[in-house]
Chains A and B, each alone.
Chain A
Amino acid sequence: MIMESKRKKESPSSPESTQFPDEVLERVLAFLTSHKDRSSVSLVCKDWYNAERWSRTHVFIGNCYSVSPEILARRFPNIRSVTLKGKPRFSDFNLVPQNWGADIHAWLVAFADKYPFLEELRLKRMTVSDESLEYLAANFQNFKVLSLLSCDGFSTDGLAAIATHCKNLTELDIQENGVEDRSGSWLSCFPESFTSLEVLNFASMSAEVNFDALERLVSRCKSLKVLKVNKSISLEQLQKLLTRAPQLVELGTGSFSQELTTRQYAELESAFNNCKNIHTLSGLWEATALYLPVLYPACANLTFLNLSYTALQGGDLAKLLVHCPRLQRLWVLDTVEDKGLEAVGSYCPLLEELRVFPADPFDEEIIHGVTEEGFVAVSFGCRRLHYVLYFCRQMTNAAVATIVQNCPDFTHFRLCIMNPGQPDYLTNEPMDEAFGAVVKTCTKLQRLSVSGLLTDLTFEYIGKYAKNLETLSVAFAGNSGRGMECVLGGCPKLRKLEIRDCPFGDEALLSGLEKYESMRSLWMSACNVTMNGCRQLARKMPRLNVEVMKEDGSDDSQADKVYVYRTVAGPRRDAPPSVLTL
């Protein structure tokens, strides 16, 4: 596209001129949205670097400690939208201490100075306090979009501040955070004059909100496209909301189980019937077979169905899926079992993404859930499948081989055999060949999570074949550090490597010396890495931050949890005492 514009622009001016005015280049570059493209552009030459930095309005920072707010502001003067990710992903599973860091406040203070016209802030795994939210509400007059995913540190008081003061807010998206849910009164803080909301997601919050306030809000925000309410909203209330907002494109219901009269049931059905634009459906807590049929009229255009909070049986899922022929993304609980997945294979030929979550992951006596057969059934019916997250209790090498043969286009293959170190249950062999098949067949593979009994052979395969792999998650696997060396030596595009409970030691850690600067981060916990090894790494690679988290009572020489990441900002100064920066 740039080349086209260049040619067009060149015709009226002198054919000899190869310089064009910066303003023109900037206008052209404004069309570039992908940050990868922009990074490439900025490397062409000094003029292009400058044009790019002046024209960039959105910045994505995958690790908040890789750069400082000052450096950011110096390079990009015109930012309107910031996406920041903080803690390492394993903090979602309680492996990172509470006060680890990734506090947004320093960023906000810098932004208030350099980007007073900031409009959008999307945060993932950051610590956000109520004070920060209040600061945000007070200092950015143009603020429009706030998205908080997996964050912690704030309460509903902070949200109240946002609702009260952000007069131009279009999006409030609060997902799966460690939020202190004091009361639902924050929702009532939106002033009566406020009408700009387009996206509202408070599905993962628990406190009951004032329904009247919600209903009035929905009525007056005519541009509302996305509404995801929480469990406290009943079916009767949902019906009222749907009547006010039939234009919704994404809907998250509340509790989907209530004793309704026949008339109420009909009214609900009619409300869904009027919602012809819905393409995403979620929520559906406690939904039973009795109530799901009210959804059928709204399912014709459905592309994303999230049933991962609904304990549905296979037969009932089948009945629902018959009405969802256009489905592209499906999230379910493993209560649907293989029978439900067979229905997925039968009725959803356009499916691209499937996530199966365990309903009861901690009970070892349970022998229900999904098996390899369900996954195989889906692969036969859904040839376009490219993203899978699958929690199961048994798997075989042969099944995985069949699956990737049917669906060679996998970009994200995340298989979690829930019992650590479990072999192929039919042959008792390690699961090496399964993941070997995945990396050999799926050349576009970007993300891989392995599980089950795995030897170094798995990692030899990965290093040899997974040439597009960017993210690798490993747990309870490998015989020796050689496994890690294979991966570090072999995967050219590797950006994130997270390892737990594997027998990889200092030699393996140090084998990736040069590699780590081309990666975003490395996480290793409960491996055989020592403090000496980490110190060596830190000494040899000054542009990496090597952080060690010690657990109480552990051996002084062991590095229990290691987090290594590249940075231009130097060692961080806000680490708590349990985190040592080497």
Chain B
Amino acid sequence: MSASGSVSTVSRDDNLVLSSEDSSSPDESDLELGLGLSLGGNCGFKLQQQPASGAQYARIFTAKDFPSSSLSSSSSSLSRTNHASAGSKRSADSVANAASSWLFAFTLLANPKFRTYASWGILGILCTILIDMGPTASQVVGWPPIRAYRRNSMANQAKSVATEEYNSMIEKHKRKNGVVEKTTNGSNKNNGTSRTRTSLFVKVNMDGIPIGRKVDLGTHSCYETLAQTLEDMFHRPTTTITGMRSSIQEHDTRVEATRRSKLLDGTSDFVLTYEDKEGDWMLVGDVPWGMFLGSVKRLRIMRTSEATGLAPRLQESSGRQGNKPI
């Protein structure tokens, strides 16, 4: 592995950067993939995820796309990818093995003449491999050097900051006499850019089942997947949580919300509720997800008959037993 002091000798062909992709819309965008290669021939690369309303797209770009003045920035990203690959050797190497064998296909794709649907298929397979690789290669193990306690502590704080700001917006309209108001502490940066990187395990109890479970809210990004997971947990008591949920660097859960959960739409005998920081039991789903994360302490799947006084969520005539319309 060499430093990028002599990056000028890197050939243009070598300077490709890899992005994640979903080949569902080949007509729309040029498929752009890149692979960062070091001078020593090791493969390293930087995986960029660009979520766009649920669908991910990919770009192949070659060194032609980098303006010459930013050669230094690309060289620094090259050196970073060099070191990143070494630092996270395991994930990088195994993916690099897969990726290097597709390199030829990618260079073909960069040339419009060779683009075929077969190539898209190949890329689709590759992307599935890459997406399944777990933590992105740009996250080097143990870097920056911050102790685990501090890392977890700050990740949790980022979530609560996002909800603090939301609270302050609401409370500004509720000025009470003699009550000192909470104001935002101003860390706007974390809002929207904070990714869930750490576990937030909360207890879940279901009425009628004496033994509770624990669920990691950090692996979910919306109510649907959470409810789905809970349904699976409690309707199939033999299901165990696999190791993949225990990783701190886990990204969004792989459970796909194919249908709206019964727990959320009011068609079940049960409703999903949570206890918030103030000790009150609330119906899950009313507030934005981030805000929910900031205030949830534990969950309870409650019998609908006990959840009196709750307005029906959807205007459906079936399946709501015991709910009194408000």
Contacts and interface: CB of A to CB of B under 8 A. Distances in A.
Interface of A: 90, 92-95, 150, 176-178, 204, 257, 259-262, 265, 285-290, 308-309, 311-313, 316, 333, 335, 357-366, 368, 391, 416, 418-423, 428, 430, 453-455, 473, 475-479, 500-501, 503, 526, 528, 551-554, 560
Contacts of B142: 90, 93-95, 500
A79 to B, nearest CB: 30
B153 interface: yes
B148 A94 contact: yes
Q: What are the 9 closest A-B residue pairs judged by CB atoms, nearest first?
A: A93-B142, A421-B79, A476-B83, A176-B149, A288-B185, A420-B83, A313-B186, A428-B72, A311-B187
A526 B139 CA distance: 15
B189 interface: yes
Given A260-B180, A261-B180, A361 B83 contact: no
The range of chain B's interface size is 35 or more
A311 B158 CA distance: 9
Contacts of B146: 93, 357-358, 361, 391
Interface string B136-171: 001111111111111101100110110010000000
A488 to B, nearest CB: 20
Contacts, number: 173
Interface string B255-283: 00000000000000000000000000000
A242 B161 CA distance: 27
Nearest to B6: A479
A313 B179 CA distance: 24
Interface in B10-40: none
B1 interface: yes
Contacts of B231: none
Contact of B189 (A92, A364, A368, A428): A368
Given A259-B180, A309-B153, A554-B89, A420 B194 contact: no
B143 A363 contact: no
Contacts of A286: 157, 160, 164, 185
Given A288-B182, A360-B190, A479 B141 contact: no
A506 to B, nearest CB: 15
Contacts of A551: 89-90
Contact of B148 (A92, A260, A554): A92
A94 B143 contact: no
A476 B87 contact: yes
Contacts of A177: 149
A475 B142 CA distance: 11
Given A288-B185, A359-B190, A421-B4, A391 B144 contact: yes
Interface of B: 1-5, 72, 76, 79-80, 82-84, 86-87, 89-90, 94, 138-151, 153-154, 157-158, 160-161, 164, 178-187, 189-190, 193-195, 197
Given A265-B180, A286-B157, A365-B193, A416 B145 contact: yes
A113 to B, nearest CB: 34
Nearest to B48: A364
B1 A455 contact: no
A470 B276 CA distance: 50
A421 B157 contact: no
Contacts of B140: 420, 501
B30 to A, nearest CB: 23
A479 B5 contact: yes
A416 B154 CA distance: 18
8 contacts: A289-B183, A308-B150, A360-B154, A368-B189, A416-B144, A420-B80, A422-B80, A503-B2
